[in-house]
Structure 1
Amino acid sequence: MRASNHARLVPLFVGVISVSAALPARAQQPSTDNSDPSLRDYLSGNGLLNRGLYELAAEEYRKFLSEHGNHEKAPMARYGLGVALFRLKRYDDAVQQLAPLRGVKGFTYGAEVGTIVGQCHMAMQRYEPAAEAFESTVTRYGTHDLADDAAAGAAEALYLAGKFEESVARCQIVVSRWPASPLRERTEFFWGLGQMATGHYAQAADRFEAIADGGAAGPFAPRAALLAAQCRHQAGDLEKAADRYQRVIQQKASQYVAEALHGLALLLQQQGKPKEAGGFLDRLLRDYGDSMLVPSAHLQRGRAWFDLGNYDRAFESFAAIKGDDPALQDDAAYWMAKCKLRAGDYQEAAKRLKQAINRHGDSELLAEMMYDRAVALVRMEDHDAAVQALTEFRAKYPQHAMAADALHLLAAGEHQREHYDDSLKYCRLFLKDYPAHTLAPAVAFLMGENDFLSGRYEPAVETYQRFLSVFPQDPLIDKVRFRLGTSHYRLGRYDEATPLLAGLDDRGDREGVFRTGVLTVGDIHFQRGEWKQAEEELSKYLAAGLDAPSADDALLKRGLARQRQERYEEALRDYDALLKRFDKSAHRAQAVFERGQCLVAMDRLDDAVAAFDQLLSEDRDSRFAPHALNHLAAIAMKRGDFEESARRFSQVSRTADDEALKGEALYQKGQAQMAAGDYRAAEKTFAQYVDQFSSGARAAPAAANLAIAQSRLDRCEDALSAISRVEGAFRAQLTPDVLAAVGYEKAWCLRSLGRTEDAARAYRDLLAQSEAGTPNVHAMLELAELEAGRKHYEQAVEVLDRIWQYGQSQEVEVPADVREMATYRLGVSLFELEKFDRAAAVLNDFARDYPKSDLVASAAFFCGESWFKSGHHDKAAQHLTLVMDRFPQDAAFGPALLRLGECLATLQRWPKSEQVFSAYLDRFADGEHWYQARFGVGWARENQGRYQEAIEAYSAVVQRHQGPTAARSQFQIGECLFAQKKYEEAVRELLKVDILYGYPEWSAAALYEAGRCFEKLNQPDKAREQFSAVAEKYQKTQWADMASKRLAAATSAAPVPGRQ
């Protein structure tokens, strides 16, 4: 059974309305003359009925009716008999007795008869006859006291009969006609049920909330409270639903708390909050172990653990379902297997999924079971079984959502079995049925591989070439190029193979494709500090094997190149390879030394000590020996003997007899662990202190350090709770420095939890506390970053200016990293505030003061942008050129190129502008702003008089782009032709601007220039047409004024009529 993701609607027991049937009036004392002895049984029946002796009353009434069926009291006796049978719950007999009375005109108890008949039908779950009986009663006795009872009964009966819209309509009538009826709350409740049943969840929720919040504490209020939450949930109003669930949960006495916990957990799961959902499910399972929802709660708890990646806990939850709910056994079996699959126990997963398939063949999850079993078999590399499983899946579920994935796995499985023709068949079928699927590139590549490995190189070439055309940006592109080149090679097409294989990254066996002298090229890059290129060339050289000449030199330099790129693990592998293979190398000492430096950078200090000790042991006279000693000293300083200190303090705390000394040692142990950064151990130590020495001298700072340790462990909720206790109980006992440290961690935790308003307030409180002392510049920086993140740039600048001023005045020590980040943030915030001159000055200082910063490229870009925005194009070009020259891999590189090209164009440095725009296109040919660069190339060429080349650039924009730039490009084509005196062609291209594009400024310009072309062609009438069109259609443009002047000049120059 597939578990629902929606709120589970609470089951309802719906009882019939309770209407007191009127009884016959109490019998009068028989007259002394006893003139009518036939009434004896009738009167006895009345008396017995009024005493609640319904069985005896029925006997008397039946006796009377059998002997005096035509007596004038017979209808009353039949009514009494019907009431007695009703009280005895013999509903069919009651209806049989009362039915004849429904047609008796003027019968005193006609309203009661109809109501009781309706009740009998309700009790027997015959809802449509019940509705008819109630409706008839309302129609015939609309003013009777029971009319509202009958109307409410009709509404309920219609609901129970599944006629929800009619039920809603009846409820509306009851409420409007009898607003003061004691049955109003019940009717309102069924009105809500009817709205639920017809899918009007929002309206139903409004109604249930009115019942729940009405304050009358009626019997329906608790149930309505839960239904309100469930309706909000079904309506998708998750925020209100959560609130309503919480209200039910808070009413601990409510019988619906379990349902509310379950519903809220499902809601949180929908919102992607499995951790929070798990908490409510745990509470349900803990507090409501006898609830019918326990199996479902176990299932949902498992899903929450699963979503959190805790597959062991998820498995336990699914296993807890056991046999409690047969409907969930298939879910439990599937998800237990899924846990094993995610945990990497593929064999167990496959076994469990097979068992689930066999046991739950009618499950809604059968398709998922079959597919995931196939996946497990694939991961086990049991390709024969996987192919069989996938074939069965596709046969049973050809239209399933995972059908494409299954087909891909099937093709891959046949490929792994070397059944290349079968794999090829499935690949073709996949690409036919799913050409746009995300797996299409992988399948297309696999299709080529099938041909390639079968030795069918010609079809492989066709497949790989088609791949390059259809998927030019796919990550498999290099493999495809390599395979395509190899296929050409195998076919003897060396010219085609060479350009495909040359220059590829070193991925796999590339032997034979490298050019000679690659080690030299690698060394050149190394000497220039071009670490990535050096690594690439050296790797190509080393791919030939370590027997190549100077391989030890190549290994050392590749290691250094990787080390400079902070890829220390890879660098270590190079140094280890050198030391293992070339134990007599001249580079051995340096390799040992550089290995130690890598280990320092990776914080593997023990290994680093061993490496430096090895160097000193092997070659104490080496030029690297002093550096090794320096590193050893730095490591000792970095350690500060804190570990040893903590160990000794631990010994003291365990063995000392003096309680004060024991407590102090325990506290100092925690301090040492904090200094060592061992916050987990520090937390444990301080917690022990607080527990054992709650009245000790160090209780306050221990509690503070406990909170700080929890914060450093990123356990922010725990830390905030601890900080709250510290502030409440120990504030007066703490020094300002400790209070400041606690305040800082409080702000940090609030920020980490996304509580930005609270975090900002905490930072400001912290800074206000430090006004009299040394300001916490780290807190100031973090506050500024928080404000900038909220786009409160004015506030950010205010704080950052203070940090900047502290740094300038040196009245407060501002660490270099804080100064660096604050300067950068200040510049960017000023830029966002459009204070471009100051932004440029600040960012210029940043680039000067922090040339090695990771942010220098971004700073240079924003500096250039600031100068550009303020009209200082020459200065802007200088900074943008810096980004272009030094940071080709930075995200700012592309935008910098575009803006630099624009600057150079404004400065009329046309060749350089063209060069920059061309560089952009070389790097970002398919980039988002390619058309701007292409236009820039055309504009630069046009201004250099290279009109035909400019037209080529403009044409590329026109052909591939829409928008103002395309319209401008079309206009410039016309202008280039005009400059070439190709007036007829110019007219054609200029008129296209007005025809093809809807940009008035360019339409006006184009028509005006077309008019000038006609003048050059000596066609004054057509010229006037263009000028007139400009003047009339585009009156608000500069072109309209110019056109009007042209028209005026043409009129004054026209020949005077008459003889020439």
Structure 2
Amino acid sequence: MISLAVTVEVCAAAEGSDPALDKFYNANALCRRGLYPLAIKDFEAFLSAHPKHEKVPQAQWGLAICYYSSGEMAKAAPLFEKLVGNAHVTDQEQLHNLWGSSLVELGKCAEAVKAFEWTLSRGKTAARKADALAGLTQAHSLLKDWAAAARTGDELVKLAPDSPYADLVRYQAAVARLNLDQHADAIRAFEGLIASSKNAEIVHQSVFRAAECLVKLKKPADAIQMYETAATTRTGEYSELACFNLGLLQFETGDYAAAIATLKNFPKKYPESALADDVGLFLGRSYLESKKYREAVSTFEGILGGLKGAAPKGPKKQKPPPGRPLVVSDSSVGAQATLWLIRTYARQGQYTTARELLAPVVGNYRDDPVSAELYYELATADMQTGQYASAARYFAESERGKDPLPSESLRLRAFCLYRDGKCRESLPLCDSFLTKYPDSPHKAEVLFIKGENLVALLRLTDAIGVFEAALAAGPDEAKIKQSHLRIAQAYYHEKKWAECVEALGPLLEADPPVQGDAAGKKPRQGPKKKPSAPEDGLYDQVWFMAGDCRFRLEQWPKAIEALATFLDRHPDEANADKARYNLALAYQKVEKTAEAIATLKPFLHGAKQPDAEAEALRVRALLLLGRLQFETGDYQQAQDTLKRLGDHPDAIYYLGWIAMKRNDTSGAIQHFGAAAQQGKPALAADAALQRAV
């Protein structure tokens, strides 16, 4: 708080003066010497004895100053107000400033603003105007009129940069800009104070406030440094909160080791802190995120052990430190510690332990802000351990929480009732979810549950439409994978290529290609997501089906992606050779000859196939490979490839072209002659022509 300096006018006793003034002059002398309690007695005695004396205004002025200087603002303010405009008090500028300052101390900041503004508008003395600006800045700050506080603070610095209040006013103006979300301007002001101010407390508070600005500016690394400085080296009244915010920010930025070190040390520095419970909670959470589960459990249990019967904790006895924590919760520490203890067990998959601990106490926190989250954790633990009936009941409780709990709880409640065999109860919940959350990312899953309920109720026609709606709704869920596959297989066998691709969509999205699936790139290390169905082999062909459909639809880039993905994952499975051949053709369509050649090269290592269809495919692949090698000018490789096909007329035909390109006229005549006799009509005709040439 700004306490304006007082300049005391002393009235010296004149020789032969009125004896009635003895008390008056004595009071003035005592006031001048700073003996305010004694001066107050003499001023009060004089005013009581001579209420109509001509010196009453000066006595009241002196008494007001003494009250002000003694901190008795409730007595000073009325006297200052009474003397406003009194001709016997010549320094009306100081009077208005002191009046305003006393009003600020009394919390009457709106009235104080008027007093200070009088000095600014009617005063003649620069020093008095500077004092008024200092008082105004403080009053505006207390009124949270941040724009006005920033403006008057700037005016003071401009008018009187050497004012004794300059640093404090600069600080208040910077805080105003912080509250106006002018964080860049605010931090420049705080940094200026850190660099120039001689007031250690102002420097400390500026460091703390600068950290707050840096948090708002999303510069956590710089904010951490500032909080650490405010907590350890440039210390002051915000050091306790700076230490807490430091640990919290380290936690939020994922530096859990640093957060643990900071938060573990906090109770040693501040053993009586009102933030002790919050520190413990974030220490436990830091352990949890570090996967130090034993330490996390110990920390949360330690918090609960300090509470009577683990009941919700009442108001903290200690006074909170000044400032604003980065995180503020209305929840009781008992509820939060319980919640995070349960999450620690759940994170380890220990759902049985979680439900055994939480079930007996969850009702104790029914009125707590995190009650719904506790019920959700209990419901999840029951669901994970197959206790679907009780899980459904608890999910009904967690529906009353904040987003996203209502939608999540309704969805999982419908699922649990379905798994519990209560399909008639689950079905209306599915409809309720789809009505309330039509754009939910879980729409497909709920449609699937609805479809499964309809199947169980033997409403098969309705179920087919619902499954199709689920497939069209979006991302795949493990529970509906097999339905996607079956519908896709049906479309495939009906040669409805576009419909098959659409039906395969969620399956492909759940197991997408990654960089390296395409031929010629680094092989992938494995599928992104392992199929969840027990018959994993059922899904081996989905990328082939997708690629074959895209190929038939002449969607070459997508065909390439799908077929390359299939070959990368299942190079020796059924349809692998067909996929290679079609992939090479697709590459050829997009003029990627090198990729096509690379794709076909595995056929060079294959022997003649006993199966007629497989052998025909091998021959076509080698012919295509040889032709592509020829077209790229790699005549030797093309010749080697085509010779693998023996007397095949197409191979002989291209061998003729190779000989001609090499100026081997006799070889060309020989090959073209053979092709003319054995080849297909069009090929034979061209072979005969080339032989003649």
Alignment of 1:1029-1040 (within 5 A): none
The match for 2:4 among 14, 19, 33 is 19
CA deviation after TM superposition for structure 1 residue 190, in Å? 0.5
Alignment of 1:824-973 (within 5 A): 878-882=597-601, 904=628, 907=631
Instruction: Evaluate the alpha carbon distance shift between residue 199 and residue 142 of structure 1 in structure 2; reply closer, same or farther with a 3 A threshold.
Output: farther
Percent of aligned pairs with the same amino acid: 23
Mapped to 2, the partners of 1:901 and 1:424 lie a distance apart of 57
CA contact (8 A) 1:374 1:390 kept: yes
Instruction: Evaluate the alpha carbon distance shift between residue 140 and residue 352 of structure 1 in structure 2; reply closer, same or farther with a 3 A threshold.
Output: farther
Deviation sequence 1:188-218 (CA, Å, 0-9, x none): 1101111122222232222112111226354
Mapped to 2, the partners of 1:122 and 1:335 lie a distance apart of 45
CA contact (8 A) 1:876 1:903 kept: no
Amino acid of the structure 1 residue aligned with 2:411: H
CA deviation after TM superposition for structure 1 residue 421, in Å? 1.2
Q: What's 1:424 paired with?
A: 427
Residues 1:43 and 2:28 aligned together: no
The number of residue pairs the alignment matches comes to 504
Say which structure, 1 or 2, has more relative contact order (CA 8 Å, 6+ apart): 2
CA deviation after TM superposition for structure 1 residue 221, in Å? 0.5
Alignment of 1:50-129 (within 5 A): 50-105=32-87, 107-129=89-111
CA deviation after TM superposition for structure 1 residue 187, in Å? 0.5
Mapped to 2, the partners of 1:343 and 1:237 lie a distance apart of 33
Q: What's 1:175 paired with?
A: 157
CA deviation after TM superposition for structure 1 residue 119, in Å? 2.6
Residues 1:187 and 2:169 aligned together: yes
CA contact (8 A) 1:334 1:356 kept: no
Deviation sequence 1:515-567 (CA, Å, 0-9, x none): xxxxxxxxxxxxxxxxxxxxxxxx99xx9xxxxxxxxxxxxxxxxxxxxxxxx
Alignment of 1:537-548 (within 5 A): none
Mapped to 1, the partners of 2:344 and 2:460 lie a distance apart of 43
CA contact (8 A) 2:137 2:150 kept: yes
Q: What's 2:398 paired with?
A: 393
CA contact (8 A) 1:461 1:484 kept: no
CA deviation after TM superposition for structure 1 residue 436, in Å? 4.7
Mapped to 2, the partners of 1:194 and 1:356 lie a distance apart of 46
Residues 1:226 and 2:231 aligned together: no
Deviation sequence 1:720-756 (CA, Å, 0-9, x none): xxxxxxxxxxxxxxxxxxxxxxxxxxxxxxxxxxxxx
CA contact (8 A) 2:229 2:235 kept: no
The match for 1:365 among 349, 352, 370 is 370
Q: What's 1:205 paired with?
A: 187
CA deviation after TM superposition for structure 1 residue 301, in Å? 1.3
Deviation sequence 1:405-426 (CA, Å, 0-9, x none): 2122111221122111111222
Give the 3-state SS of the residue equivalent to 1:103 in structure 2.
coil
Instruction: Evaluate the alpha carbon distance shift between residue 52 and residue 378 of structure 1 in structure 2; reply closer, same or farther with a 3 A threshold.
Output: same
Q: Which moved more, 1:351-360 or 1:444-453?
A: 351-360
CA deviation after TM superposition for structure 1 residue 104, in Å? 1.6
The match for 1:154 among 130, 133, 136 is 136
Amino acid of the structure 1 residue aligned with 2:339: Y
Deviation sequence 1:985-1033 (CA, Å, 0-9, x none): xxxxxxxxxxxxxxxxxxxxxxxxxxxxxxxxxxxxxxxxxxxxxxxxx
Q: What's 1:405 paired with?
A: 408
CA contact (8 A) 1:249 1:260 kept: yes
CA deviation after TM superposition for structure 1 residue 362, in Å? 4.3
CA deviation after TM superposition for structure 1 residue 173, in Å? 0.9
Amino acid of the structure 2 residue aligned with 1:408: R
Alignment of 1:993-1032 (within 5 A): none
Deviation sequence 1:145-189 (CA, Å, 0-9, x none): 333222201111111122222111111111111112121111111
Deviation sequence 1:774-805 (CA, Å, 0-9, x none): xxxxxxxxxxxxxxxxxxxxxxxxxxxxxxxx
Give the 3-state SS of the residue equivalent to 2:222 in structure 1.
helix
CA deviation after TM superposition for structure 1 residue 250, in Å? 5.3
Q: What's 1:967 paired with?
A: none
Give the 3-state SS of the residue equivalent to 1:145 in structure 2.
helix
Instruction: Evaluate the alpha carbon distance shift between residue 435 and residue 125 of structure 1 in structure 2; reply closer, same or farther with a 3 A threshold.
Output: closer
CA deviation after TM superposition for structure 1 residue 122, in Å? 2.4
Q: What's 1:809 paired with?
A: none
Instruction: Evaluate the alpha carbon distance shift between residue 403 and residue 882 of structure 1 in structure 2; reply closer, same or farther with a 3 A threshold.
Output: farther
CA deviation after TM superposition for structure 1 residue 57, in Å? 2.8
Amino acid of the structure 2 residue aligned with 1:879: A
Mapped to 1, the partners of 2:142 and 2:595 lie a distance apart of 78
Deviation sequence 1:450-470 (CA, Å, 0-9, x none): 233334444334444554565
Mapped to 2, the partners of 1:472 and 1:64 lie a distance apart of 90
CA contact (8 A) 1:131 1:155 kept: no
Give the 3-state SS of the residue equivalent to 2:196 in structure 1.
coil
The match for 2:446 among 443, 447, 458 is 443
The match for 1:241 among 223, 237, 261 is 223
Residues 1:265 and 2:268 aligned together: no
Mapped to 2, the partners of 1:283 and 1:884 lie a distance apart of 68
For structure 1, which runs of at least 5 residues remain unmatched after alignment? 1-14, 488-499, 501-538, 544-851, 853-860, 888-896, 910-1060
CA contact (8 A) 1:873 1:906 kept: no
Mapped to 1, the partners of 2:239 and 2:17 lie a distance apart of 67
TM-score normalised by structure 1 residue count: 0.43
Mapped to 2, the partners of 1:355 and 1:116 lie a distance apart of 63
CA deviation after TM superposition for structure 1 residue 286, in Å? 4.3
CA contact (8 A) 1:330 1:360 kept: yes
Alignment of 1:782-861 (within 5 A): none
Residues 1:332 and 2:337 aligned together: yes
CA contact (8 A) 1:208 1:228 kept: yes
Residues 1:309 and 2:291 aligned together: yes
CA deviation after TM superposition for structure 1 residue 86, in Å? 2.4
Instruction: Evaluate the alpha carbon distance shift between residue 210 and residue 23 of structure 1 in structure 2; reply closer, same or farther with a 3 A threshold.
Output: same
Residues 1:138 and 2:120 aligned together: yes
Mapped to 2, the partners of 1:108 and 1:253 lie a distance apart of 44
Give the 3-state SS of the residue equivalent to 1:146 in structure 2.
helix
For structure 2, which runs of at least 5 residues remain unmatched after alignment? 308-312, 317-331, 491-499, 501-533, 539-570, 572-579, 607-620, 634-693
Mapped to 1, the partners of 2:340 and 2:278 lie a distance apart of 13
Q: What's 2:327 paired with?
A: none
Amino acid of the structure 2 residue aligned with 1:126: K
Alignment of 1:275-290 (within 5 A): 275-290=257-272
CA deviation after TM superposition for structure 1 residue 473, in Å? 6.4
Instruction: Evaluate the alpha carbon distance shift between residue 391 and residue 300 of structure 1 in structure 2; reply closer, same or farther with a 3 A threshold.
Output: same
CA deviation after TM superposition for structure 1 residue 471, in Å? 6.1
Mapped to 2, the partners of 1:424 and 1:441 lie a distance apart of 15
Give the 3-state SS of the residue equivalent to 1:316 in structure 2.
helix
Instruction: Evaluate the alpha carbon distance shift between residue 127 and residue 363 of structure 1 in structure 2; reply closer, same or farther with a 3 A threshold.
Output: farther
CA contact (8 A) 1:873 1:903 kept: no
Instruction: Evaluate the alpha carbon distance shift between residue 876 and residue 452 of structure 1 in structure 2; reply closer, same or farther with a 3 A threshold.
Output: closer
Instruction: Evaluate the alpha carbon distance shift between residue 207 and residue 110 of structure 1 in structure 2; reply closer, same or farther with a 3 A threshold.
Output: same
Instruction: Evaluate the alpha carbon distance shift between residue 408 and residue 903 of structure 1 in structure 2; reply closer, same or farther with a 3 A threshold.
Output: farther
The match for 1:382 among 378, 387, 403 is 387
Instruction: Evaluate the alpha carbon distance shift between residue 47 and residue 384 of structure 1 in structure 2; reply closer, same or farther with a 3 A threshold.
Output: same
Give the 3-state SS of the residue equivalent to 1:364 in structure 2.
coil
Instruction: Evaluate the alpha carbon distance shift between residue 254 and residue 357 of structure 1 in structure 2; reply closer, same or farther with a 3 A threshold.
Output: same
CA contact (8 A) 2:601 2:625 kept: no
CA contact (8 A) 1:460 1:484 kept: no
CA deviation after TM superposition for structure 1 residue 437, in Å? 3.5
Mapped to 2, the partners of 1:902 and 1:474 lie a distance apart of 45
Mapped to 1, the partners of 2:423 and 2:296 lie a distance apart of 40
- CA-atom RMSD, angstroms? 4.1
Mapped to 2, the partners of 1:903 and 1:241 lie a distance apart of 66
CA contact (8 A) 2:378 2:394 kept: yes
Amino acid of the structure 1 residue aligned with 2:601: L
